[in-house]
Structure 1
Amino acid sequence: MKRKYLYIAPVLAFLAASCEPSIKDEINSETYYAGEADFSSYVAIGNSLTAGYMDGTLYRSGQKNSFPNILAQQFKIVGGGEFTQPPLDDDTNDVGGMLVGGVSMPGFDTKLVMNMSTSSPENKSGTVTLDVTKKSQKAYHNAGVPGAKTFHLIAPGYGSLSNLQQGKANPYFVRTATSDETTVMADVMSLKPTFFTNWIGANDVLAYATSGGEGVDQNEQANGTDLTQYGGNDITHVGVFKVAYEGIVTTLTSGGAKGVLATVPDVTTIPYFTTVPYNPITADAVVKPGQTPEAVFDQLNMLVGMFKEILGQFGQGDRLQLLDKDKANPLLIQDKTLANLEPQIAGTIKFLVASGKFPFPITDAEIAFIAKSFGQARHATQKDLMLLTSRAQIGASFNTGNPTMDAMLIKGITFPIDDKYVLNTVEQQKVQAATIAFNTIIKSVANEKGLAVADMNELMRKAVSGLRVEDGQIYTADYFKGMGNLNTVLFSLDGVHLNPRGYAFIAAEILRVINNHYNANIPLVNPAVYPGPTLVLQN
């Protein structure tokens, strides 16, 4: 995994405590107590991380392990009241996904499982039965809305079915919204909260990152505060975030409720960005039985070398490097921050074709296709982050109808992987700048309101290297690699969201913060008793 730090977090005593009290301990007001907090009406504000989303979707058994639901069980020991979550009883096959009027919604697939017979993650076989049109029209204590950004929580119509096709509504909130014009916050406040957790803000930067920087950083736009100009993958303007976040917390505390504000994690530390190496091209990976490394790499370098020479004519030859059979070679990627040499490359290829020096027959349309792809091509460096979705691109072949060309063009090796599968350093800087700005606002609001802060950014940063608990177990932010790390991974198979053990980890941290800030003594939870990745023998 990238960016290994020689750091193991100090022993975290809060993780050592079991979620069950000792048999000799009598549970009463002297053993456990709420301190200065009142948990009689606990609500959880947030996005997919609050909803219990994992393995690429929200599904029935996964939702039971949402961190708010785990917290609510502990709160009941000290006087906590009823805690409700949006109903998923209609998810009869426990596979998640979403329908609208009986038709599958694009992008809302079944949950990911690890197929042990193929050693690969894949969508669970099963019929999706959860339908957005079957609305409950009821407010729930878990108000986590997958996909929601900060300003969405105060947007009227975000739960309107008629707005869904226009991209102005969220199917998860449509299922529960008490009316077409209500807001997430309005429904939350109808429950008269006495205590809350607020973990909103990750999507204000995450969507940009997971799209490989395909969106816009609204902080760089003159009209960056105009929400009508926003795309789904944009980074929220800091000014918009500040107004929305302050408004949300002011509303939550208007009736005297206390709570915990959680910071936004640095999304570049999660497995979605740290699992695929920048340099996976080795002899073992590309040489097939019956072939020799020398012959294979000579053939690959014929094409790579030709484009390196073409780029060199325009002073950009160092964008590419020849492949070495004895080393781990970097992926060939597209980088839209580079000067675009598409016209120059097209002209040079046409000259080579006319002079009989191009290695295969090619049409003008094919020249345009190759020139467009190589116009901003370069080899990846250690600073580039390959998205988890890039795995399926590496080594992929083409079917253009030109068999000679198809045989020579290989994604990531002799043909660049699209920019949307890579988060380059320029894009990373935008993500990190927004994250820092958002967390400064969150901590400032917490200080002003006297609220507790759960620093999820710091916790996830430490998890990159490993978080050690009292029994010596180390939990990490690695992706599932097999039975060797089955019991230590905190993330689900989508590489973005946590697994049940990871959500228990979050609950443990929040409980520790509550106990410290509100002078409470609430029993903690042990992540070890919660399941990790979802494994199946066959799908």
Structure 2
Amino acid sequence: MKTNTLLLTLFTGLVFVSCKPKYEAEENSPGEMNPERFVMIGGGTTAGYMDNALTAKGQENSLAQLIANQLSLTGGGDFRQPLVSSGSVGIGLQGNSALQLGYKTDCKDVTSLSPVPLAENGDITIFQDQLYQSGSSFGNYGIPGMLIDKTTLYGYSSENLFYARFASEANATVLGDAVATSPTFFALYLGEEDILYYAKTGGLTGLIPPASFESVYRAVVTALTGTGAKGIVATLPDVTQTPFFRTIPTNGLTLDAPSADLLNSIYSTVGISFQVGANAFVVNDPGVNAFNARKILPDEYLLLSLPLDSVKCHQMGSVFPIKNQHYLSLDEIQNLRDHITAYNSIIREIAAEYGLAVVETGPFYENLQNGFVYNGVTMSSTFVSGGAFSLDGTSLNAKGNALLANEFIKVINAKFGATIPQINAGNYTAVLFP
């Protein structure tokens, strides 16, 4: 009996093992979209601009490239970018080189970790590149600094040397070159440079009127869908949630008794007072009083462009008010947000009309502002240590781009019934410490 019982037990176990269902991974599928020829049009994030410059490393981790990598798993073809030389220090919109984290000594002879340029100047030799070749096409039409109305501007390469490197001809348009690739699927992240340009200049530049924004956006979508392509478009985030606007505290003016007394003697006639300890910085505000000066408000933003050595050693923000280009006032913040709201309404409306997928970037940036955990690692918009932004304070780093690319992928899957795998953002780098 013992032998029979043992045999029965073994037999039962074998049957159980043999009947256990096997796990099969979900097959990657493009669903109802065709990723064979993917094209993306946008600004710096699309191009891979990070650490305040365009570099090969940034391009390899551009938003467009990361999306293309995942599309290749479901039938996407080759995706070309106008690559910078891998040994280049890169070049930024002001002719600067890329930034790295290094040691910097300030005007008080204090040395600390800070973003420092890789070289004294950017690599202007990349603008000598002529990368366009007849019969071959690019997939990444991300152009650093490209405002939306420049997308359809003939001869734009004469204004923007980043585009001149791979424009098909001197009188070409970015949209025309993109359409000439006969895309089967496209992505748009247009308007990002418009809102950044306004915000980073302290509201001193204008913003394109919503009616003009709509006209250009509709022209772009009409041309791309005219090829039979499907696509995804991105709304615009509140860029004031990036480190560029949230790092320098408005109440960072710390005073001892003699300094407070001095400032009180200077500003008493216009009703501005100071105390020992923390105070709000003084900013320039034309017409507010005889000195055109006031204290910055808690809900206003000091920009990362503020020259801190001038603050520490030359009384900027106290005796000498901070200039308008280094802060955003409440009126400027409201103007920016009103335009973002209007632009996003237009984007959603046109997307619905043409059957396009829409990725909402606002919640993504808001989540970074609040902080969240990804694969056991806290991600946030904290400057340098937050893990998602590059050293210029507005551009995402490689890890941040991977996380944003996943937002695109999730929406593509939902809209077109695709099963494109998401990126493991943990495999991508953030800020490198020396």
Shorter-normalised TM-score: what interval? Answer: 0.7 to 0.9
Q: Distance in 2 between matches of 1:107 and 1:392?
A: 19
Q: How high is the sequence identity, in percent, across the aligned residues?
A: 31
Cα shift at 1:134: 2.7
**Match of residue 291 from structure 1:** none
Cα gap change, 1:26 to 1:39, in 2 (>3 Å): farther
Which structure 2 residues correspond to residues 157-172 of structure 1 after superposition, within 5 A? 157-160=155-158, 169-172=159-162
Give the Cα–Cα distance (whole angstroms) in 2 for the partners of residues 26 and 500 of structure 1.
31
1:119 paired to 2:109? no
Larger mean Cα displacement after TM superposition, 122-131 or 386-395: 122-131
Deviations 1:187-227 (A, max 9, x none): 10111000011001012222111001112xxxxxxxxxxxx
Map 1:254-403; keep pairs closer than 5 Å: 254-282=226-254, 297-311=256-270, 317=271, 320-325=272-277, 328-336=278-286, 338-339=287-288, 341=290, 375-392=291-308, 395-398=311-314
2:338 counterpart (401, 425, 433): 433
Note if 1:245 corresponds to 2:217. Answer: yes
Amino acid at match of 1:66: S
Deviation at 1:126, TM superposition (A): 7.0
Contact 2:130 / 2:166 at 8 angstroms: preserved in 1? yes
CA distance in 1, matches of 2:259, 2:316: 12
Could you tell me which residue of structure 2 aligns to residue 504 of structure 1? 402
**Secondary structure of the equivalent of 2:127?**
coil
Q: Write the letter of the residue equivalent to 2:80.
A: T
Q: Is the 8 A contact 1:394 1:417 kept in 2?
A: no
Q: Distance in 2 between matches of 1:126 and 1:26?
A: 55
Letter in 1 for 2:139: H
* 1:16 counterpart residue number: none
**Which runs of 5 or more structure 2 residues have no equivalent in the other structure?**
1-21, 105-111
Please, which of 381, 399, 418 is the counterpart of residue 323 of structure 2? Answer: 418
Match of 1:456 among 361, 379, 397: 361
Match of 2:80 in 1: 84
> Aligned in 2, Cα 1:453/1:54: closer, same or farther, shift over 3 Å?
same
Matched, 1:199 2:189: yes
What residue identity is the alignment partner of 1:381? Answer: L
SS at match of 2:306: helix
Q: Which secondary structure state, in structure 2, belongs to the residue aligned with residue 457 of structure 1?
A: helix
Distance in 2 (CA, whole Å) between partners of 1:72 and 1:428 is 35
Q: Which residue pairs with 2:132 in the alignment?
A: 137
Q: How much does 1:146 deviate?
A: 0.4
1:112-146 deviation digits (Å, cap 9, x = unpaired) = 11115741111013772533233223441000000
**Does the 8 Å CA contact 2:243/2:393 hold for their aligned counterparts?**
yes
Residue identity matched to 2:222: T
> Number of paired residues?
402
Offset at residue 517 of structure 1 (A): 0.7
Aligned AA for 1:86? P
**Structure 1 stretches of 5 or more lacking a match?**
1-23, 99-105, 161-168, 216-233, 284-296, 312-316, 342-374, 399-409
Structure 1 contact 212–422 (Cα < 8 Å) conserved: yes
Residues 11-51 of structure 1 deviation map (CA, whole Å, 9 limit, x = unaligned): xxxxxxxxxxxxx9888xx6111100100000011011100
Specify the alignment match of 1:209 in structure 2.
Answer: 199
Aligned to 1:363: none
With over 3 angstroms needed to count, the CA separation of the structure-2 counterparts of 1:504 and 1:25, relative to structure 1, is farther
1:112·1:124 contact (CA, 8 Å) conserved in 2? yes
| More contact order relative to length (CA 8 Å, sep ≥ 6) | 1
Kindly indicate whether the alpha-carbon contact (under 8 Å) linking 1:332 and 1:380 is maintained by their aligned counterparts in 2: yes
Q: Distance in 1 between matches of 2:53 and 2:419?
A: 34
Kindly provide the CA deviation profile for residues 299-340 of structure 1, in whole angstroms up to 9, marking residues without a partner as x: 2133311232222xxxxx1xx221223xx211111123x435
Q: What secondary structure is seen at the aligned counterpart in 2 of 1:389?
A: coil
Could you say which residue in structure 1 is the equivalent of 2:146?
148
Distance (Å, rounded) in 1 between the aligned partners of 2:273 and 2:388: 37
**How far 1:412 sits from its partner (Å)?**
1.5
Query: Is the partner of 1:460 in helix, strand or coil?
Result: helix
2:259 partner amino acid = L
| Structure (1 or 2) with the greater strand fraction | 2
Q: Select the residue among 46, 51, 63 that pairs with 2:47.
A: 51
Secondary structure of 1:131's counterpart equals helix
Deviation at 1:94, TM superposition (A): 3.0
SS in 2 for 1:43: strand
Structure 1 residues 447, 495: CA separation in 2 closer, same or farther (over 3 Å shift)? same
Q: Is the 8 A contact 1:43 1:195 kept in 2?
A: yes
Check conservation: 1:511, 1:524, Cα contact below 8 A.
yes
What corresponds to 2:108 in structure 1? none
**Structure 1 runs, 4 residues or longer, greater than 4 Å off:** 24-27
What is the SS of the residue equivalent to 1:119?
strand
Q: Partners of 2:296 and 2:368 in 1: how far apart?
A: 26
Contact kept, 8 Å, 1:55 with 1:493, in 2: the verdict is yes
Q: Distance in 2 between matches of 1:472 and 1:302?
A: 50
2:379 is matched with which residue?
475
TM-score with structure 2 setting the length: 0.88
